Amino acid sequence: MSTRREPEHVALLQGTLNLLILRTLVFGPQHGQGIARAIQQKSEDVLLVDHGSLYPALQRLESQGWIKARWGISENNRKARYYELSAKGRAQLNHQTSDWQRLTGAIGRILGLEQG
């Protein structure tokens, strides 16, 4: 089911979903469906996110205190659970982002894709 794969899609690297969620929430509170859509659009539909797999990740982030949740009303008047970045989450995002950049930079250099 979750292994459904279409040619133009790339499966997520393990652990990167957290980073993507935190990054999406930088622009303000968002509900689960909004986050899923945002990740899909930003990645220009390259990354495949099974919407359902978002929820365990959201629970984990919430229990770690990186994001906070409360029920609110969506733009089209639907009750939805909104997630918001906490101060701790923001710090975590900065930390993980720089980690990620160093990692990809290093891998890129090894693969010879990035010059100098």
Partner 1 sequence: MFWRRSQKDFDDEIRAHLELEAQQLLREGAAPADAYYGARRAFGNVTRRQEWFYEQRRILMVRDFISDMAHGFRQLRLNRSYAALAIVTLALGIGANTALFSVVYAILIKPLPYREPERLARVWMDNRRLQMKEDWASWLNYQDYKKLGTSFESMTAFSNSGANLTTDGEPESILGVRAEAALFDQLGVRPHIGRFFTSEEDVAGKGDVWVIGWGLWQRRFGGSTDVLGKKIEMDGSKATIIGVMPPGFRFPTKETEFWSPLVVPDGAKRRVGYWLQMVGRLKPGATMQNAQTEMEVVGKQLELQYPKENAGYGIYVNPLVNHVVGNTRTPLLLLLGAVGFVLLIACVNVAGLMLSRAEARGREVAVRAALGAGRARLAILMFGEAVALALIAGGVGLMAAWWGVKALVMLAPADLPRLDEIGINLPVFLFGLAVTVLTALLFGMVPAWRIARINLNEALREGGRSVAGSIGGQRTRAILVVAECSLAIMLLAGAGLFLRSLFRLQGVDPGFRTNSVLTMQVVASRTKVAQPPQVLEFHQRLMEKIRGLPGVTGMGSITTLLLSDTPNSGTFTLEDRPPFPEAEQIEATSDIASAEFFKTMQVRLKYGRFFDDRDRMDGPRAAIINATFASKYWPGQDPTGKRFVFGMPRERNPWITIVGVIEDMRRRGLHREARLEVFAPLTQRPARGTQLLIAVNGNPMALAAAVRSEIRALDSLATVTKVSTVEAEVGTTMAARRFQALLLALFAMLALVLAAVGIFGLMYQSVSRRTHEIGVRMALGAQGSDVMGMMLRQGLLLTATGCTIGLAGAFALSRLVRGLLYGVGPADPVTYVAAVLLLAAGAVIACWVPARRATRVDPLVALRHE
User: Quick check: 10 binds partner 1 (CB under 8 A)?
Assistant: no
Residue 17 · residue 49 · CB < 8 Å: yes
Least distance to partner 1 from the beta carbon of 19, Å?
Answer: 20
Residue 79 · residue 71 · CB < 8 Å: yes
* Cα 35 off chain centre by: 7
* Residues from 59 through 78 that contact partner 1 (CB under 8 A): 59, 62-63, 74, 76, 78
Q: Of these, 30, 31, 38, 39, which contacts partner 1 (CB under 8 A)?
A: 31
User: Quick check: 53 binds partner 1 (CB under 8 A)?
Assistant: yes
Joined tokens for residue 4: 């459904």
